[in-house]
């Protein structure tokens, strides 16, 4: 079972929750379920409000991901997805460090999520 640790100014201290194996809900849904207040608006990958920084804690190569087109565009427009990071994501399926919580599907990996509490700011 994977753990997701949330760290942000709206939390008095880091909060670690379990992600159920096989559950394909988004990181934003997991945060909401656990009363963790990550800013959001559209919930559809378009506004960038739910920007988070993801750190993989297992010390191994992160699992392959597929960024949605909306997430690619929104992260690029916000300056959080460089051409190099985009190439890594498209060619090697490697996740970039910044993601949108409403598009991020929680996998069976232990991760740390940092958010600012300000919409669109990591
Ligand atoms: Fe708008 Fe995630 S809530 S991009």
Q: Cα angle at 103 between 100 and 109, to 5 degrees?
A: 90
Ordered strands of the 98-100 beta sheet: 15-19, 2-7, 111-114, 51-56, 98-100
CA 11 – ligand 1 centroid, Å: 20
Residue 120 belongs to some domain of the structure: no
How does pLDDT run across 29-62, given as a tens digit for each residue? 999 999 999 999 999 999 999 999 999 998 888 8
Residue 48 domain-assigned?
Answer: yes
> For residues 81 and 72, is the Cβ–Cβ distance under 8 A?
yes
Q: Which residues does the chain have with pLDDT short of 70?
A: 121-122
Number of other residues whose CB lies within 10 A of the CB of residue 90: 12
Which atom of ligand 1 has the smallest separation from the CA of 100?
Answer: 2
Domain that holds residue 108: 2-114
Is 67 part of any domain?
Answer: yes
Evaluate whether residue 62 is within a structural domain.
Answer: yes
Asked if residue 40 has its Cβ within 6 Å of ligand 1, the reply is yes
Q: Which atom of ligand 1 is nearest to the CA of 102?
A: 2
Please indicate, yes or no, if residue 7 is contained in any of the structural domains. Answer: yes
Which has the closest alpha carbon to 3: 15, 13, 16, 12? 16
| pLDDT attached to residue 122 | 65
Please count the structural domains in the chain: 1
What is the atom index within ligand 1 of the atom nearest the CA of 74? 4
Strand pairing class (111-114; 2-7): parallel
Report the complex ipTM. 0.99
Domain membership of residue 34 (yes or no) is: yes
**CATH at 59:** 3.10.20.30
In this predicted structure, what is the pLDDT of residue 117? 73
Mutate to test the pocket of ligand 1, among 42, 69, 99 (most ligand atoms within 8 A of CB): 42
Specify the long-range contacts of residues 82-91, CB closer than 8 Å, at least 24 apart: 89/65
Does 121 fall in a domain? no
Does residue 68 have its Cβ closer than 6 Å to ligand 1? no
Q: Across the strands, what pairs with 113?
A: 6, 54
Measured from the Cα of 45, ligand 1's closest atom is: 4
In a domain, 43, yes or no: yes
Protein residue closest via CA to atom 4 of ligand 1: 45
Copy the structure tokens of residue 121.
């700011």
Distance of CA 42 to CAs 24, 63, 66, 119, Å? 19, 27, 20, 11
């Amino acid at each position: 079972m994977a753990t997701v640790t949330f760290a942000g100014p709206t939390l008095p201290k880091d909060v670690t929750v379990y992600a159920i194996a096989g559950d394909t809900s988004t990181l934003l849904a997991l945060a909401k379920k656990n009363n963790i207040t990550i800013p959001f608006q559209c919930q559809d990958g378009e506004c960038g409000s739910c920007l988070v920084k993801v750190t993989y804690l297992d010390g191994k190569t992160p699992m392959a991901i597929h960024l949605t087109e909306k997430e690619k565009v929104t992260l690029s427009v916000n300056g959080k997805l460089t051409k190099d990071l985009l190439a890594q994501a498209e060619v090697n399926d490697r996740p970039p460090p910044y993601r949108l919580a409403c598009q991020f599907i929680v996998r069976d990996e232990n991760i740390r999520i940092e958010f600012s509490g300000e919409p669109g700011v990591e």
